[in-house]
Structure 1
Amino acid sequence: MRDPVIGIDLGTTNSAVASVEEGRPRIIPSRSGGRLTPSVVGLTPKLSERVVGTKAQELAKEHPDCVVWATKRFIGRRFTPELVQQAKAVVPYQLAGGNTGDVRVKMAGRTVPVTQVSAMILGELKLDAEAFFGRGVSKCVITVPANFDDSQRQATREAATIAGLDTLRLINEPTAAALAYGLSRGFQGHALVFDLGGGTFDVTVLEITDGVYEVKATGGDPALGGEDFDLKIVEWLLAQVDDNHRELVHRDVVSMHKLKVAAEQAKRELTEYEETLISLDGLGDHTQPARKLTGLETALTRHFFEQLCEPLSKRCIAVCESVMKEAGMDPHSVDTVLLVGGMTRVPLIRRLVTDFFGKAPSTDVNPDEAVALGAAIHADELARQSGAALLLDVVGNSLGVGVMGGRVKHLIPRNSSVPVVAKDVFHPGRHGQTEARIPIYQGESELQDENRKLGEVVLRNLQGASRADTPLEVTFELSNEGTLSVRATDLKTGLSEAVKLEARPHLPGQEAERLVKEQAVYAQKQAQADAKKTEETFRKLLERGEKLAKLLQRTAEESPSDEADSAMINVRSLLATGYSALEARDAEQCAQVARQLTQLLSGRRD
């Protein structure tokens, strides 16, 4: 039997894992029974034990300083004062810099690499999949925002490695969503994926024809998502706190967390209702023994919420306009608009989409699950090498070489199809130069200072006396996954060097190894605890199966038919297999029976 492969949507707000069974993609439920796992991680205050998902959300109610969320915004980034200021506007926890300049977060008195936080979430999804299949799971496809640069993609890969996962491929979230939508409905034509998640916004135009998914253009805003819409409500609520307490509330972690939770809840309620009431107490300084606390009672209408968020709405439209221009298309020429991300449930967003594209968006796909399902479909195709779908993706950011005058010469423009190879010839900056440093930049500006430097390739022992006698050929090679290789060659002597890209600050080797071992120990301990719970749950499931079998037998006796007999025999056979697997401690067989029996008991097929 082929090893199971999974697709993972590692989201800013929620994450999900899926697989393909019997040709159909399906979400793998968490061990606690949910279909989504909140991307929240915490460390308990006394023992520093990790908690992930809903348990971390519960911990945040009493100990918000022990929990972090929305860390996807910082993965693969370099720690800078500018980033710290940006973070203060969206999250209450503090950022710190690692020895190599990587970003870390402070929680429960500890400083934890952002990469490790992502690894904890991925590790939890891995455990969910292993409980679902009853066996080890390692191979996966993980989705990333289309505008993630190379450093962010490689950081995601490193997090997967720490979690014990073998990443078959990283694919862009909008492409994954379109893959799920196209394969399930046989769609052909131009599809636009409007992906507004918790922390990032992506827009991608694809042309889908006979299983070929060709990305025409992609763009986005890496600092725009549901968290920003929540923040608008938080700012409005804070402004209503009385003057004597406002500054105390603003500085207090517990109070600000209460405002954040209330804002998110209000946003959800306004999706269904025109008005929502917000009632809060216990706002103030929780750090002092003699607490000075206050409360807040107010109402928020959908209309006013939309006014608060007008600047964010304009940013959404600006991205759509830019992507349509790059695709060379008119908004009304899009055949269908697919909504992805929880924020697309908000009426404001659906109205924006309808007005801009001149048609109502599709609401047939669960926006929270489409990306994970698409990742699972692609993972299954890679494992089976079926060739059912061909993904022709594009470059999310332009890539180029730094030249004289502080400028950049772009070799691979944004939205070029990948894989791609590009070459150009340059010359040293002065006569008699014996060493050439060729910097590599990522970004859209023609100025080096406004782009991101990925690294440089160094050619030594140059022998040309004049610039013209020293032609240097630079070759960029970009893979399907956005991995960049750069080679510089002295065409006169044949001397060649490949770039060692420092696209991001890697974790130190010893620390990375320690985190891998730490994750493995946690996973083993957790798996043992899960096994006991799984056995108890399975025994209860078999008891429910026995009741179903008796009901089917009574039905067959009262209304004899081949169908009734077949249904009863099927359940009895499943129960017999389940009891045998339980006795033999065959976890994989137990899991298989559990999935089939659960479907029969629930009447669901997905």
Structure 2
Amino acid sequence: MREPVIGIDLGTTNSAVASVEEGRPRVIPSRAGGRLTPSVVGLTPKTGERVVGGKAQALAEEHPECVVWATKRFIGRRFTPELLQAAKAVVPYQLVGGNTGDVRVKMAGRTVPVTQVSAMILGELKLDAEAHFGRPVNKCVITVPANFDDGQRQATREAATIAGLDAIRLINEPTAAALAYGLSRGFQGHALVFDLGGGTFDVTVLEITDGVYEVKATGGDPALGGEDFDLKIVEWLLAQVEDSHRELVHRDAVSMRKLKVAAEQAKRELTEYEETLISLAGLGDHTQGGWKLTGLETALTRDFFEQLIAPLSKRCLDVCASVMQEARMDPRSVDTVLLVGGMTRVPLIRRLVADFFGKAPSTDVNPDEAVALGAAIHADELARQSGAALLLDVVGNSLSVGVLGGRVRRLINKNSSVPVVAKELFYPGSHGQTEARISIYQGESDLQDENRKLGEVVLRNLQGTSRTDTPLEVTFELSNEGILSVRAADLKTGLSEAVRLEARPHLPGQEAERLVKEQAAYAQKQAREDAQKTEDKFRKLLERGDKLAKLLQQSAKENPGEQAEAAVTNVQSLLDSGRAALESGDAEQCAQVARQLNQLLSGR
């Protein structure tokens, strides 16, 4: 049997893992029983034991200082005062810088690299997949936001390596969603993917024809997502706290966590109802043993919520307008609009999208699962090398070289098709210069300070006496995954140097190796515990299967026929196979029988 290959949506708020089974993409349920895993990680206060997902959310109720979430916003970013200031408005936990400039979080008194936090989430999804298949799972496709830069993509790969996964491809989230939609619905034409997730917003226009997915334009806002919409409710709730307690509540981590959870719950309820009641107790300074605690009772209507989030909603439409302009298309010429991300369930968002594009958006695909399903489809395509779908993606952001005067010269324009190679000649800034530092920038501005610096290529031992005697050829090569390689060469001497992204944060080699070993030890321990739980669940499943077999036998007696007899034979065969696998300790066979029995029992 071919080795399982999985698709992973590593999300800001929730993550999911999926696979293609019997020709159909399916979300793999977590070992905890859900279809989504909250992207929340914690360390228990006394033992430092890691908890991920729902367990981490539960830990946050009593020990918010031991839990972090929405760390995807910081992965692959360089720690700067500006980033720190922006983070304070979104998350309560502390960010610190690592030795190489990477971002780290304070959690339960420990300093943990953001890359490791992502690795913990990926490791949990890997364990879910292995429990599902009853065998090791190593290869995967991971989705990333379309506007992720080289550093963020490389950091995602680094997290996968720490988690023991071989990321055979990174694929943009909107493209993955369109892949799931296109293959499952047989769609042809222009599709727009409106992807409003927990932390980022992406818009992508694709032309889908006979299995070819060609991206026409893509854009987004890396600092706009469900977390920001929640924050609007939190700010409103905080303003209603009594004046004498407001500052205490604002400084208290437990209280702010209560407001955050209440805001998320209110947002969900307003998707279905016109009004929601919010009742909170125990707000105040918990560091003083519950001294001076207060409560809050209020109601939030859908109309007022929509007023609160109107500025954020307008930012979504501004991005849509920009992307349509870059695609040189009228919004109403889009054939279908696909909603992705939990925030797209908000009625205001759906109304605005419908008004802007002149048609109701598609709701056929679960917005929380579409990205993972698309990743699974692409993973299956790569594993089988079937060529059923061809992805033609584009550059999410322009790539440039810094030049004199604080400006940049663009080598690769935004929305250029990938893979792409671009070359251009440059000259040293002064005569007799022996070293050239060629800075690489990402962004749409003509000014260096308004773009993001990705790194540098350093050429030493230049020998020309005049600037014009030293032509330097700079080559940008961008892969179809958005990974950037840069090379600079002195054409006079033949001296060349590959990119050294000194500005790109990364984990030191020894620390990365230690984290890999730490993750492997955790996975082995967890797998042993899971094996016993899985066996117990499987025995109970066989008992349910026995009941189903008896019901089918009774039905076959009352209504005899070939179909009824075949149903009895099928279930009995599965039960016999399951008991034999249990007796021989064949975990993979047990998992296969479990999947088939669950489908029968659920009527799918």
User: Which TM-score bucket, shorter chain as reference?
Assistant: over 0.9
My pick for the range that moved more, 459-468 or 475-484, is: 459-468
2:442 aligned residue: 442
TM superposition shift of 1:430? 2.1
2:369 aligned residue: 369
Could you say if the C-alpha distance between residues 52 and 498 of structure 1 is closer, same or farther in structure 2, counting changes exceeding 3 Å? Answer: same
Residue by residue over 1:405-437, the C-alpha shift from the partner in whole angstroms, topping out at 9 and shown as x without a partner, is: 111000001111000011111222222333322
Could you say if the C-alpha distance between residues 147 and 290 of structure 1 is closer, same or farther in structure 2, counting changes exceeding 3 Å? Answer: closer
2:509 aligned residue: 509
TM superposition shift of 1:290? 5.6
Residue by residue over 1:555-582, the C-alpha shift from the partner in whole angstroms, topping out at 9 and shown as x without a partner, is: 1112110001000000010001000000
2:279 aligned residue: 279
Query: Does the 8 A contact of 2:145 with 2:173 survive in 1?
Result: yes
Residue by residue over 1:295-346, the C-alpha shift from the partner in whole angstroms, topping out at 9 and shown as x without a partner, is: 1111110000000111101111111111111111110010000000000000
1:467 aligned residue: 467
CA distance in 2, matches of 1:10, 1:461: 44
**3-state SS, counterpart of residue 459 of structure 1:** strand
CA distance in 1, matches of 2:458, 2:289: 61
1:94 aligned residue: 94
Query: Does the 8 A contact of 1:488 with 1:496 survive in 2?
Result: yes
Could you say if the C-alpha distance between residues 558 and 209 of structure 1 is closer, same or farther in structure 2, counting changes exceeding 3 Å? Answer: same
Aligned AA (1:513): E
**1:172 maps onto 2:199 in alignment:** no
TM superposition shift of 1:438? 1.8
Structure 1, unmatched stretches of 5+, are none
**3-state SS, counterpart of residue 292 of structure 1:** strand
Query: Does the 8 A contact of 2:284 with 2:290 survive in 1?
Result: no
1:151 aligned residue: 151
1:397 aligned residue: 397
CA distance in 1, matches of 2:259, 2:10: 25
Query: Does the 8 A contact of 1:151 with 1:503 survive in 2?
Result: no
TM superposition shift of 1:503? 5.2
Query: Does the 8 A contact of 2:458 with 2:500 survive in 1?
Result: no
Residue by residue over 1:103-154, the C-alpha shift from the partner in whole angstroms, topping out at 9 and shown as x without a partner, is: 1111111111111110000000000000000000010000000111111111
Aligned AA (2:109): G
1:161 aligned residue: 161
TM superposition shift of 1:510? 1.0
2:268 aligned residue: 268
Query: Does the 8 A contact of 2:456 with 2:503 survive in 1?
Result: no
For this pair of structures, how many residues does the alignment match?
A: 604
2:33 aligned residue: 33
1:413 aligned residue: 413
**3-state SS, counterpart of residue 314 of structure 1:** helix
**1:239 maps onto 2:262 in alignment:** no
CA distance in 1, matches of 2:101, 2:500: 18
Aligned AA (1:453): K
TM-score by length of 2: 0.99
What is the RMSD computed on CA atoms of the aligned residues? 1.0
1:106 aligned residue: 106
My pick for the range that moved more, 468-477 or 212-221, is: 468-477
CA distance in 2, matches of 1:405, 1:203: 34
Structure 2, unmatched stretches of 5+, are none
**3-state SS, counterpart of residue 401 of structure 1:** strand
2:495 aligned residue: 495
**3-state SS, counterpart of residue 287 of structure 2:** coil
**1:133 maps onto 2:133 in alignment:** yes
Aligned AA (2:462): L
**3-state SS, counterpart of residue 348 of structure 1:** helix
**3-state SS, counterpart of residue 118 of structure 2:** helix
Output aligned runs, 1:46-125, within 5 Å: 46-125=46-125
CA distance in 1, matches of 2:277, 2:491: 71
CA distance in 1, matches of 2:550, 2:453: 69
**3-state SS, counterpart of residue 287 of structure 1:** helix
2:325 aligned residue: 325
Query: Does the 8 A contact of 1:150 with 1:503 survive in 2?
Result: no
CA distance in 1, matches of 2:445, 2:493: 33
TM superposition shift of 1:460? 3.0
1:42 aligned residue: 42
CA distance in 1, matches of 2:501, 2:253: 39
Identity %: 87
Could you say if the C-alpha distance between residues 290 and 222 of structure 1 is closer, same or farther in structure 2, counting changes exceeding 3 Å? Answer: closer
1:293 aligned residue: 293
**1:551 maps onto 2:536 in alignment:** no
CA distance in 2, matches of 1:67, 1:436: 45
Residue by residue over 1:25-47, the C-alpha shift from the partner in whole angstroms, topping out at 9 and shown as x without a partner, is: 00000001100000011111111
